[in-house]
């Protein structure tokens, strides 16, 4: 079993839809969770950063962490064609410096 699993997609949705992106993980020691957006041939861009369980909202983006289920989600409301990208989840424990990345989900928002 991989340490972090993520559906690679592609996921296609119509403009305006609510998008749900998810990652599951196996290491219960993970405490820090991040979501990145990566456009083709560009470096990843940090979208959300959360610590431990709970929800965090920023504009159209909401991140949820459920540590009991080892499951994290990123919701995008009112999706736009400009949201079309690959979304990567990443996580680490309290001690390590390096984050473990999921494989990424390719999202296409169709106008």
Partner 1 sequence: GAVVSQHPSWVICKSGTSVKIECRSLDFQATTMFWYRQFPKQSLMLMATSNEGSKATYEQGVEKDKFLINHASLTLSTLTVTSAHPEDSSFYICSASLGQNYGYTFGSGTRLTVV
Q: Which residues bind partner 1 (CB under 8 A)?
A: 34, 36, 41-46, 49, 51, 88, 90, 97-99, 101-104, 106
Q: What would the two tokens of residue 96 be?
A: 């390590």
Q: What would the two tokens of residue 37 be?
A: 């957006």
CB closer to partner 1, 65 vs 88 = 88
In the complex, the smallest distance separating the C-beta of residue 68 from partner 1, rounded to whole angstroms, is 23
75, 18 contact by CB (below 8 A): yes
CB closer to partner 1, 1 vs 97 = 97
Structure-token match 């690679």, residue found = 8
């Amino acid at each position: 079993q991989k340490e972090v699993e993520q559906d690679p997609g592609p996921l296609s949705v119509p403009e305006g839809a609510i998008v749900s992106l998810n990652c599951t993980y196996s290491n219960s020691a993970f405490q820090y969770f991040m979501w990145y957006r990566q456009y083709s041939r560009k470096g990843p861009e940090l979208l959300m950063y959360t610590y431990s369980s709970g929800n965090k909202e920023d504009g159209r983006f909401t991140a949820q962490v459920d540590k009991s289920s080892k499951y994290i989600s990123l919701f995008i409301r009112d999706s736009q064609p400009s949201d079309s990208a690959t979304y990567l989840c990443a996580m680490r424990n309290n001690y390590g410096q390096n984050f473990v990345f999921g494989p990424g989900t390719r999202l296409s928002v169709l106008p």
